[in-house]
Amino acid sequence: MPQAQGTEARARADHALAKAAAGGTADAGGRLRPGLGVWLRDLILSLAISAFIIVFIYQPVKVEGTSMMPGLLDQERLFINKFEYHFEPIHRGDVIVFHYPLNPAKSYIKRVIALPGDDLEIKDGQVYVNEKALAEPYVPARFRDERTYPNTILPPNEYFVMGDHRLISSDSRDFGPVNRSLIYGKASFVYWPTDDMGAVR
C-alpha cells in the first residue's frame, strides 16, 4: 500500500511538471499557475484584437480647430466608426471625417447637410434642401452667418458638408461637395476630456 501511494504521488508530480512545461508553473499541491507563456499569449491576443478594432472598426482622432463648435471643441479626442458606412448609408445630419478634397493628406470633420440628388440652396445663411428650410438646432444663433450658395442639385456620390460654427467654417461652400470615396468614418464618441465624454450628435 505505501508503494502504491508513492507511485500515485509521483504520477501527480509528473503531471504537474508536464503542465508547467506547457506554459505554467505548479504549486506544492500540483495546481497550475499561469506562467510567462500564458501571459505573453494573452498580451499578444489583446494587442491583435485592439489593432483589428482600430484598423477596421474604430479609430481615435483629435479635433483640430473650432469649426464644429459647440458640439465638438478644439483638441477633443473622439472615436470614429470606420465600419458603419460599409453597411449603412450616410444620413443627413451625420458628423463625418473625410479626406480634404483639395489636399487628401489632410482630414476634415464636418456635418452632412445634403445628400446625392438633393436640391440645395442657401439664402442669407438659411439652408434649403429640396425647397424646404432645414431645421438646424446644432447651430446656435450666435454662430450663424448670412452667406449664400446658389441653387445646386448634388451629383451622384457627392455630399454637401458644413461646419456647425458657420461664421468660421471652411466647408462645401468653399471647396464644393465631398465625393463618397473621400469619406472614411462617422464621428461616434468623445472620450477625452472626460468632462465632455459622450456620443457625438
Q: What are the backbone dihedrals phi and psi of residue 175, each rounded to the nearest 5 degrees, phi first?
A: -110, 5
Mark whether 170 is an active-site residue: no
- Which residue among the candidates 50, 62, 67, 106 is catalytic per the annotation? 67
Whether 132 sits among the annotated catalytic residues: the reply is: no
Beta strands in 64-134 (DSSP E): 77-81, 95-99, 107-114, 119-123, 126-129, 132-133
Nearest to 93 by CA among 118, 73, 111: 111
Distance CA 12, CA 39 (A): 25
Single-letter code of the amino acid located at 175: F
Contact yes or no for 65/179 (Cβ under 8 A): no
State whether residue 37 is helix, strand or coil: helix
114, 107 in Cβ contact below 8 A?
Answer: no
DSSP state of 118: -
List 50, 82, 110, 170, catalytic entry: 110
Which residues participate in catalysis according to the annotation?
67, 110
